[in-house]
Structure 1
Amino acid sequence: MQTLTAKDLTLGYGESIIIDELNITIPKGEITVLIGGNGCGKSTLLRSLARLMKPKSGEVILNGEEIAKMPTKEVAQKLAILPQSPTTPEGLTVKELVKQGRHPYRGFLKQWSKEDEEAVNHALEVTNISDLQDRSVDSLSGGQRQRAWIAMTLAQDTDLILLDEPTTYLDLTHQIEVLDLLFELNEKEGRTIVMVLHDINLACRYAHHIVSIKDKKVFAQGKPEEIITCKLVQEVFQMKCDVMYDPMFGTPMCIPHGRGRCIFANRV
């Protein structure tokens, strides 16, 4: 199982520093969710962990090696990333999209193999879209389309999967559908999953490990029930709330103050 660590990582664009000397280790075999206010650097951090962005300083370590020095194909065989709102060429079918996940294993002269076909079919099956494989990706609903993209990352057959806001633009039903799928992949196949989420209650429900980002650094990290408090929500999101427990799952649940209410109560 792959290990992923950032050491003294500094990221930015031009002269602007977004992440400053950040240290983080992603727990193996768990779901880690990055949370924080808009513009805090969650997506930037995720991109750097996947070697899509070069650090200004510091390093990302994948399986004991500095990821920047690893061959691209080797990285792609160990780590998959699904960016926010990916786009597909017009007319591409679901199966054609999923087959793109096998690219890291394809040589210039290598024929499509039985192993490739099995990986694609498995990805279609576990995402429950086998019956959609001949349809155009353009014709799918938002939830179906996101499942197709996740199937592509699964076909890449990596232990590590990084997703940038996989529930963006989805209604609540499809958000739960996608997060349930990722939860099952972690439970049944042991995949290590790292994702950015905006909804703190969904983050608490699905994450084993939460990392909150504020002021260019890790503000707090740990199990949801250990770190999600009224104080954290106030400081990280500038939002007053009560934190209670989800009656179905026992995970922290934030109840925002609003409609003129401005007093903390029932802190946990």
Structure 2
Amino acid sequence: MKTLAAENLTLAYGNRTVIQDLDITIPEGKVTVFIGSNGCGKSTLLRSLARLLKPAGGSVILDGQSISHLSTKEVARRLAILPQTTGAPEGLSVLQLVKQGRYPYQSWLQQWSEEDENMVRWALEATQLTELAERPVDALSGGQRQRAWIAMVLAQGTNALLLDEPTTYLDMTHQIEVLDILAELNRSQKRTIVMVLHDINLACRYADHIVALQNQNVFAEGRPEDIITEQLVRSVFHLDCRIINDPLYGTPMCVPYSKHRNRNAS
């Protein structure tokens, strides 16, 4: 059974087609990263997989069913998405934000439960935010704020997490901090994680499976060491580079050429 997949998927904004007849299956229990040049449809595809964008054609499959046939709460119990742009009401505490992740489980008949409390406590611990639980979200640093939003999606308790550029606007230290949290979650609980990342070297370091998008479809997909080549970077990003092994992790590492910067030039 396909946990999360797209079949013959076409996505468009008005008359502009962004994704055309795309087929993809997200590997279960792995970290998948979408890469590609700006405007290639990475975020659009991610939003469609979470049912935030209605397809112009084809379908998204979640746990063997068309996602369009599931209720909003049912989808939210099976997958969680963290959009690229987030914002919390002024004064909202970290704890209050994380509690929002339990919304899919609330109803007139089922109010706040011990399981809800345990999931919120675990999400705070997993993101190292327990001591900041009462602090307003808008008083946090950029890295802390991103961890708070990740804690909220963790509190949903879903098997699949979709994150749209979770490292955007973060400095290098906080980028690694956020990606390490997600990698540990994948390793320890086998959660399926799908991310959009701009940094190809971070994508190679953290991904089990990379999907490179170009020309409204999948250009290549597979393990980083199998698909990331100088030709792929040239075709997808229009960039000349050298691919070497990361000296620490052995994963592919992209070193771009520069026509106007050569320290060794006479």
Give the TM-score category using the shorter length: over 0.9
2:159 alignment partner in structure 1:
159
User: How do 1:124-163 residues align onto structure 2 when only pairs under 5 Å count?
Assistant: 124-163=124-163
2:168 alignment partner in structure 1:
168
For 1:69, the aligned partner's letter is: H
For 1:226, the aligned partner's letter is: D
1:88 alignment partner in structure 2:
88
**Displacement, 1:110?**
2.7
Q: Deviations over 1:189-212 (max 9, x none)?
A: 111000000000000000000000
Query: Per the alignment, in what secondary structure is the counterpart of residue 134 of structure 2?
Result: coil
For 1:220, the aligned partner's letter is: A
Query: Per the alignment, in what secondary structure is the counterpart of residue 77 of structure 1?
Result: helix
For the 8 Å contact 2:2–2:61, the answer to whether it is kept is: no
Query: Per the alignment, in what secondary structure is the counterpart of residue 183 of structure 1?
Result: helix
Q: Deviations over 1:115-155 (max 9, x none)?
A: 10000000000111000000000000000000000000000
**Displacement, 1:111?**
2.3
**Displacement, 1:2?**
7.4
For the 8 Å contact 1:85–1:168, the answer to whether it is kept is: no
1:229 alignment partner in structure 2:
229
For the 8 Å contact 1:143–1:174, the answer to whether it is kept is: yes
1:266 alignment partner in structure 2:
none
What is the TM-score normalised by the length of structure 2?
A: 0.97
2:66 alignment partner in structure 1:
66
User: How do 1:88-107 residues align onto structure 2 when only pairs under 5 Å count?
Assistant: 88-107=88-107
**Displacement, 1:76?**
0.5
Q: 5+ unaligned residues in a row in structure 2: which ranges?
A: none
Q: 5+ unaligned residues in a row in structure 1: which ranges?
A: 263-268
1:48 alignment partner in structure 2:
48
For the 8 Å contact 2:84–2:165, the answer to whether it is kept is: yes
For the 8 Å contact 1:9–1:55, the answer to whether it is kept is: yes
What is the TM-score normalised by the length of structure 1?
A: 0.96
RMSD, matched Cα: 1.3
For the 8 Å contact 1:80–1:162, the answer to whether it is kept is: yes
User: How do 1:1-268 residues align onto structure 2 when only pairs under 5 Å count?
Assistant: 3-260=3-260
Identity %: 63
**Displacement, 1:28?**
0.3
* Number of corresponding residues: 262
**Partner Cα separation in structure 2 for residue 165 and residue 183 of structure 1:** 15
**Partner Cα separation in structure 1 for residue 261 and residue 216 of structure 2:** 30
For the 8 Å contact 1:2–1:78, the answer to whether it is kept is: no
1:265 alignment partner in structure 2:
none
